[in-house]
A and B are shown apart, each in its own frame.
Chain A
Amino acid sequence: AQTVTQSQPEMSVQEAETVTLSCTYDTSESDYYLFWYKQPPSRQMILVIRQEAYKQQNATENRFSVNFQKAAKSFSLKISDSQLGDAAMYFCAYRDTGANSKLTFGKGITLSVRP
């Protein structure tokens, strides 16, 4: 079974600086999807960024980018120019490409942003 590990329960970053959130996963599949979700205090789950395993290029979405290392099974999220609104829980998630595959989440990391 696939597993997703987020080993850091909490991180803190100064406003306007850059922070990297770590995630590792375990799978025997060669093609799959990886995601980062944000859960602000409202608890709404918001998709931040997605990476397809067959793509070598790292995904980027404005201030958010990933470092996808397929061989190492590592998928970290970099947040540049951190803003107060980035404070939230962040979940790393994995999904294989099967028709009825399910999303497997890590335990999440709480990010605080210092003004």
Chain B
Amino acid sequence: SQTIHQWPATLVQPVGSPLSLECTVEGTSNPNLYWYRQAAGRGLQLLFYSVGIGQISSEVPQNLSASRPQDRQFILSSKKLLLSDSGFYLCAWSVLGYGGYTFGSGTRLTVV
């Protein structure tokens, strides 16, 4: 069966420090991968999506970047965190053009 792993679960980082959040999927090949951010317990904002290795599309210009070095690995990064980067980050995967997304358990990021 397919599973998605996301870590860390919680992260507290100082302003100006780098960030690396990792997401991996098991049990499927060539998934579409997504990074979402949820601020203040409300709606989900799509940050990045990827349809294949090295293929990244950005939805919102910001302080973050994403990479997909392997088929089932998706990484969210920042060189220098801002206070406004605080939030809950969710990784998700889907099969091409079919059905909903399956989400990871999320990372709660607090920038102090």
Contacts and interface: CB of A to CB of B under 8 A. Distances in A.
Interface range, B side: 20 to 34
A101 B46 CA distance: 12
Interface in A24-47: 33, 35, 37, 42-45, 47
B41 interface: yes
Given A44-B105, A102-B49, A50 B43 contact: no
A107 B42 contact: yes
- Contact residues of A: prevailing secondary structure: loop
Contact of B32 (A43, A44, A97, A100): A100
Interface of B: 32, 34, 38, 41-44, 46, 49, 51, 88, 90, 92, 94, 96-97, 99-103, 105-106, 108
11 contacts: A43-B38, A44-B105, A45-B90, A47-B102, A50-B100, A89-B41, A91-B43, A99-B96, A102-B46, A107-B42, A108-B43
